[in-house]
Amino acid sequence: MFETPVLIAFAVTLAAGLATALGSMVLFHTSANSPRMLAGGLAFAAGAMIFVSLVEIFGKSQDAFGKVYGSKGGMTAALLAFFGGMLLVILLDRLVPNPHRGLEQTDTVSDRTKIGRIAMLAAVAITAHNIPEGLATFFATVDSPAVGIPLALAIAIHNIPEGVSIAVPVYFATGSKTKATLAAAASGVAEVV
Q: What does the pLDDT read at residue 12?
A: 94
Q: How far apart are the first and last CA of the chain?
A: 18
Q: How far is CA 71 from CA 58, 78, 81, in A?
A: 14, 11, 15
Q: What does the pLDDT read at residue 118?
A: 83
Q: What does the pLDDT read at residue 102?
A: 57
Res. 55 pLDDT band, cuts 50 70 90: confident
Q: What does the pLDDT read at residue 104?
A: 53
CA distance 155 to 148: 10
Q: Where are the alpha helices (DSSP H) in 96-144?
A: 109-143
Q: Is residue 48 included in any domain, yes or no?
A: yes
CA dihedral angle for residue 62, residue 79, residue 41, residue 29, rounded to 10 degrees = 70
Q: What does the pLDDT read at residue 2?
A: 61
Q: Is residue 35 included in any domain, yes or no?
A: yes
Q: What does the pLDDT read at residue 90?
A: 86
Q: Is residue 73 included in any domain, yes or no?
A: no
Q: Tell me which residue range forms the domain holding 150.
A: 4-53+108-189
Q: Is residue 118 included in any domain, yes or no?
A: yes
3-class SS shares of the chain: helix, strand, coil, % to 5? 85, 0, 15
Q: What does the pLDDT read at residue 101?
A: 56
Q: Is residue 94 included in any domain, yes or no?
A: no
CA distance 138 to 145: 10
Assess whether pLDDT exceeds 60 at residue 180: yes
Number of domains in the chain: 1
Task: List, for residues 70-118, the tens digit of each pLDDT value.
Answer: 999 999 999 999 899 889 988 887 887 766 555 555 555 567 788 888 8
Model pTM score: 0.72
Highest mean pLDDT among 55-59, 87-91, 134-138: 134-138
What's the average model confidence in pLDDT over 120-138?
Answer: 90
For the chain, the average pLDDT equals 86
